[in-house]
Amino acid sequence: MRESGTSRLTFYLRRRRKVDHIERRHVQCCKNASPVLGARPDCRHAVISKTMNTTPSNQKAFTLVEIMIVVAIIALLAAIAVPGFMRARKRSQASRILTDLRLIDSAIDQYAIENNKKSNDPVAVADWTAYVKKGSPLYNTGNNVFGTSYGSQTVDQLPQVPSGDYNVLSDVAGTGFWSPYGP
C-alpha cells in the first residue's frame, strides 16, 4: 500500500530495494544448496521474495498460550505456598503469646517479692508491666499481638492465655503447646 504524499515512482523504487535486499539474502543463504533441489526447503527468503511483501521478521515474542501456562504455574505455586505461610504466621503469633505469658509470670513474681505481696494478692496491669522490658509492646500496652489485654493478674497464679486468642490459634497450637498457661 502506497503512503500518502509519495509518488508512484518513489513507492516503486522503495519496494524494489526491499525485493533486491531479500533476493541478496536469499542468494547468500542458499548458495550452498544443491542445483538439483534448488533452494533449501527451510529458506524463508525464497518464499518472501516470491510474495514480495516484507522482509522476514526477526522479532521474538511469547505466545498467549505460553504466557497463560506461566500464569497458571505461578497460581499453582501460590496456592500451595500461601496456606503454609498463613500457618507459620499463626504459629509465630502463638509463640509470641506464650513468651508474653512467661514474661508476665516472671514480672508478677518480681513485683510480689519487691513489694512483700502474699499469695492471691491482685496485681494491676501497671504494676506488672513495670517489670517487663521498657519499650517493648507488652510494656507499652499490656496487650498481646491481637490487641487483647492480659488484664490484672494474681500473685502465685499462672497467667492464662485469653480464651478468644486460644480459639483463634487452636488449629496451630493445641493444649499441650500452652502448658502450663493454657485453659
**Are the CB atoms for 45 and 26 separated by under 8 Å?**
yes
The CB density around residue 181, as the number of other CB atoms within 10 Å, is 18
This model's pTM is above 0.75 = no
- What ranges do the domains of the chain cover? 7-69, 96-183
pLDDT in tens, the chain (183 residues): 555 666 776 666 676 666 565 666 655 665 555 555 555 555 555 555 455 555 556 678 899 999 999 999 999 999 999 999 999 999 999 999 999 999 999 999 999 999 999 999 999 999 999 999 999 999 999 999 999 999 999 999 999 999 899 999 999 988 899 989 887
Cell 504466557 -> residue:
67
> Quick one: which H or E segment has residue 154?
strand 153-154
